[in-house]
Structure 1
């Protein structure tokens, strides 16, 4: 198996609320949608974010773990500067996101903040001035 990721799938509680957040709030355009079941967003040339109803997810993948706390993962959106981070955090808040950690300078040299989508999935919005961050922005045509 080669080192590649093509889909990230999240099981969501209320697909209509999730759709309103990503489509109406953040302005994302679905690449595919099966109404009431799943929405796909192209988040890179070969990567899709799939938002699937919990029932559909469990029917195919198996039962979800029960317990408190937040889902044990973050999704990240990197930008080429701090102003972009502030803009996206503001847009996310306007779309209804909970700002979990306001954007701030980090000890690792970057600048980032976190928001939660309607299901509590954490999005990191970051500016990473290090070599890997610069490489990712160049690959995305943003630097």
Structure 2
């Protein structure tokens, strides 16, 4: 098996709100848009963010576990400078994102802040000045 991820698939409760957030708010472009079912967005050279309405997700994958708290995962968008962290957070908030946390300088030398999309999925916006940070930048 190749060492790679091709799709990140998330179940969403309101596909119209998700579409408005990612396409209209963040300015991303759909690769595939099936109203009432799925929205797919190219998120990297060989990576697609697949946003499925939760009933369609459950029909294919199985029951979704529900309960209090947040999903124990994050999606990350790395940038090339600390200033870009603030700019991306501002764009997300202008699009209606929940402003989870402002940009903070971290002990490891970088800077991160968080926002949540309409379903509460946490996005980390990060500047990592180390070698691993350069690996994920275009």
Q: Which position in structure 2 is the counterpart of 1:35?
A: 35
2:135 partner SS: helix
CA distance, structure 1, for counterparts of residue 31 and residue 124 of structure 2:
23
Q: Which position in structure 2 is the counterpart of 1:67?
A: 67
Alignment of 1:84-95 (within 5 A): 84-95=84-95
Q: Which position in structure 1 is the counterpart of 2:101?
A: 101
User: 1:31-59: per-residue Cα shift (whole Å, max 9, x none)?
Assistant: 11111110000001110000000000000
Flag structure 2 segments of 5+ consecutive residues without an equivalent: none
Offset at residue 104 of structure 1 (A): 1.1
Flag structure 1 segments of 5+ consecutive residues without an equivalent: none
Q: Which portions of structure 1, spanning 4 or more consecutive aligned residues, are displaced by more than 2 angstroms? A: none
Superposed CA RMSD in Å reads 0.7
Offset at residue 66 of structure 1 (A): 2.0
Alignment of 1:45-56 (within 5 A): 45-56=45-56
Offset at residue 108 of structure 1 (A): 1.2
Give TM-score, length-normalised by structure 2: 0.98
* Aligned residue pair count: 138
Matched, 1:116 2:116: yes
2:84 partner SS: helix
